Amino acid sequence: MSNSPSDRFRARILEVFPAHAAREGWTDTAFKAAVAEAGLSEGEAALACPKGAFDLFDAFAARADEAMLERLEGLDLAAMKIRQRVRAAVQVRLEAQQPYKEAARAMTRALTRPDRAPEAALRAKTTKRRGRFSMRASRT
């Protein structure tokens, strides 16, 4: 991740957003409360997340992905059978997401709302592209 101002602002919002999303849902109200708690101005929030809470979908998932990958590095995956690797990866991902369980549920609810269908489709496309890249990178 780069260290641009928008990335730093987004990271600050993401640090406090899950608690608000757990209470208020993945909404603009939760986003504005997180921005205020993070001590950012409206301009800084707009720089970090021009589409508001929507821009946190990928950042939230990426944070869980990074935590999962860090934990997987500590495991001897080469010594495991494929089934054990898959089980370990799923278990580690669930553990990484555990502190943010309610926020993850709020994200799922937000993405399944009919008015969020275009955003959900976009998220699915970017996740699919990122997944293909990760699969290629892991083969090398």
pTM over the 0.85 mark:
no
Q: Residues 101-129: pLDDT tens digits?
A: 899 888 888 888 787 677 767 766 665 54
- pLDDT of residue 140 exceeding 90: no
Q: Say which residue, 23 or 3, is predicted with more confidence.
A: 23
- pLDDT of residue 94 exceeding 70: yes
Give percent of the chain with pLDDT exceeding 90. 51
Fold category of 5-139 in CATH: Tetracycline Repressor; domain 2 (1.10.357)
SS (H, E, C) the chain: CCCCHHHHHHHHHHHHHHHHHHHHCCCHHHHHHHHHHHCCCHHHHHHHCCCHHHHHHHHHHHHHHHHHHHHHHCCCHHHCCHHHHHHHHHHHHHHHHHHHHHHHHHHHHHHCCHHHHHHHHHHHHHHHHHHHHHHHHHHC
Lowest mean pLDDT among 1-10, 33-42, 127-136: 127-136
Domain edges within the chain: 5-139
